[in-house]
Amino acid sequence: SWWHDAAQSKTWIFTALGGAYTAISLWALVQLIRIERRVPEYGWTIQKLFHLLNFVVNGVRAIVFYLWTRVSSLPLVVQSILVDLPGLLFFTTYTLLILFWADIYHQARSITAEHFRTVFVAINVCVYVIQLILWIVSLWIPKVAEKVLSTILFSAISLAAAIGFLLYGGRLYCMLRRFPVESKGREKKIREVGAVTGICSICFVIRSVFVAFSAISKSNSLDVTDHPILNAIYYGAVEILPSVLVLFILRKLPPKR
């Protein structure tokens, strides 16, 4: 009975989710301010963009969960935008780490990385354009069909992100292990890259599987199910916990100039 009672009382669960996202958003903002104060002359680096996007993504998620009762009364296409857009921004935020690692790896091997930046921008633009088209056509096609197409898109990009982390995180990890043992900071960087690679790869694989499952489930929802406890488990596993762990691992400020 407690399971059914929890399904009827979504407010406190969604408020708790909103609180978790708020804490992560504020953490990212504080870290961004600290980095800007430490090295203001470097402009908008990938590290600063990563923390800014974390602040935005988690802030939007928090607002949606705090105002869930109002959001659920909005038109379906607006609900889709409010739920799907933070997921797309989360994808962009964490693939910035892949871009950062690719830059380091290619520079270490004296290979230009400009083409990789172009590919990164092109992939993200294509993903947002496809999702925008789906939101537009959802005004004319059945809701179930639009959600199935959206879940296929989210599942595919999540799997692609996991492969990207394994590819470039693995390459960077192996490259660092070839450095001399006495290299300063070698062991710490190896642990950092290995931990972030493992966390993000597992996070995006879980997301891909859950979202793919939702495409064939009766609910046809990116939330996987309408039950609030399962939603809390889902968002906790694929967004909240990975964000906390990665922000903690990457908490170190850049050295002063």
Q: Render pLDDT for 172-181 as a digit per residue (tens, 0 to 9).
A: 888 888 877 6
The reported pLDDT for the residue numbered 83 is 86
Residue-level pLDDT at 220: 41
Reply yes or no on whether the pLDDT at 8 is more than 80: no
- Gyration radius from the chain CA atoms: 19
* pLDDT given at position 222: 38
pLDDT of residue 175: 87
| Residue 87 confidence (pLDDT) above 50 | yes
**Among 46, 192, 28, CA closest to 117:** 46
Poorest-pLDDT segment among 81-95, 156-170, 178-192, 217-231: 217-231
CATH class of 2-250: mainly alpha
Closest among 164, 166, 51, 176 to 105, alpha carbons compared: 176
Which of 114 and 23 is assigned the larger pLDDT? 23
Within its chain, how far is the Cα of 81 from the centroid? 16
Work out the percent of the chain whose per-residue pLDDT is above 90: 35
pLDDT of 23 reads 96
Token pair recorded at residue 90: 């989360």
Return the H-helix or E-strand segment holding 21. Answer: helix 10-38
pLDDT: which is higher, 252 or 162: 162
Could you give the maximum distance between any two Cα atoms of the chain, in Å?
A: 63
Of 213, 93, 204, the residue nearest 151 (C-alpha): 213
CB 235, CB 210: distance < 8 Å: no
What sections of 67-185 are H helices per DSSP?
A: 68-71, 76-108, 114-137, 143-164, 170-177
Q: Is the pLDDT of residue 234 over 60?
A: yes
The Cα–Cα gap between 47 and 155 comes to 26
Characterize 205-232 residue by residue with b for buried, 16 or more Cβ atoms within 10 angstroms of its Cβ, and e for exposed. Answer: bbbbebbbebbeeeebbbbbbebbebbb
Per-residue pLDDT of 167-225, as tens digits, reads 999 988 888 888 776 666 778 888 888 999 999 999 999 999 888 877 666 544 434 44
**For residue 106, what pLDDT is reported?**
82
Residue 205: its H or E element: helix 186-216
Q: What tokens were used for 148? A: 């199935």
pLDDT the model gives residue 245: 93
Identify the band that residue 254 occupies on the pLDDT scale cut at 50, 70 and 90.
Answer: confident
Q: Which two tokens stand for residue 186?
A: 């070698």
* pLDDT, mean of residues 18-27: 95
How many degrees, rounded to 5, is the angle at CA 117 between CA 176 and CA 45? Answer: 75
Mean pLDDT, the chain, rounded, equals 84
Give 12: exposed, middle or buried? Use CB within 10 Å, 0-12, 13-18, 19+: exposed
What average pLDDT does range 81-100 have in this prediction?
91
Q: How far apart are the first and last CA of the chain?
A: 60
- Chain length of the chain: 257
Residue scoring higher pLDDT (143 or 252):
252
